[in-house]
Structure 1
Amino acid sequence: MGRLKLISKAISIGKVTEKYPFAPIEVPEDYRGKPVINEEKCIGCGACANACPPQAIQVYDDLERGVRIVHLFLGRCIFCARCQDVCPVGAIKLTKEFELATPNQDDLHQIVELKLARCSKCGKPFDTYRHLIHVAENVPPWERGSLLLCPECRREKTSEWRLWGCKR
């Protein structure tokens, strides 16, 4: 008798399954899917890599080519959206895309390359032009010249100022 009750209840409820993958599925508005880096907006600051718990985003410099590389590997991503939350220019966004299976592992990588600026004193590459421009917007005009110095040369310059008793 218990089986008849179960069958009658199932008939009264009707179908509860989705037609996916044969019909598109609607994802919720705040769904956290595949992250994508906007190459035009990215300044190469590395905030996303610092915030990424599984280290799915790596930021490193190729000094021979003079570029900073921002490398996103979706195979490690846990879709936590921390990268999106910390990006100061909104260059990384999580999409609603969730079908990430692929026969080609190269499809799981996104690489952004940004040109590095060279120190005006020693010529060593140290930061991206885009990041320096972004930082310059929040620095007083009399200190913007020091932005074109690498950290080592900036440290030397600050030490010289202190030697002469200047406050900058």
Structure 2
Amino acid sequence: MKASSSLCALLIGLFTFSAQATIEINDPYARATPPRAPNSAAFMVLVNSGDKSVNLVRAATPAAGKVELHSHVMADGMMKMRQVENIAIPSHGKATLEPGGLHVMLFDLAAPLKEGESLPLTLHFSDGTEITQSVPIRKTIVESKMKHSHDNG
């Protein structure tokens, strides 16, 4: 009887594991900041090799007081950042987080983000997967000369 319950627990464990998406994080980086800049952003490509779609639902880092998932939208002729509840990653697909698009916004930085350093970033997914990665900090050129406005509404 004991072997039967052990086998059952093993099968349940395998089923639970196989139901989760397999997420890979490619080319992550955070934007370096000037000395007193309070905010930055992190970018990456999230690849889902699993059979079920999954959503990025939250991100966290001790380097920032607040972390939000964001998108850019054109509104009234201006590009505005908007918080989003989640970022979908389709099964056998990817979500690209890039400047001017979806990204992880880092608010109230504890210290400037310096090129060549890195920060820990934890990503939380809708299937319970949690990934912590050391994200390199890069100096980047501002990609656009469009007017930008930040709007949390």
TM bin (shorter chain) = under 0.3
Q: Taking structure 1 as the reference length, what is the TM-score of the superposition?
A: 0.25
Larger radius of gyration: 1
TM-score of the two chains, using structure 2 as the length reference: 0.27
The structure whose residues are more often strand, as a share, is: 2
If asked which structure has higher relative contact order (CA below 8 Å, sep 6+), I would say: 2
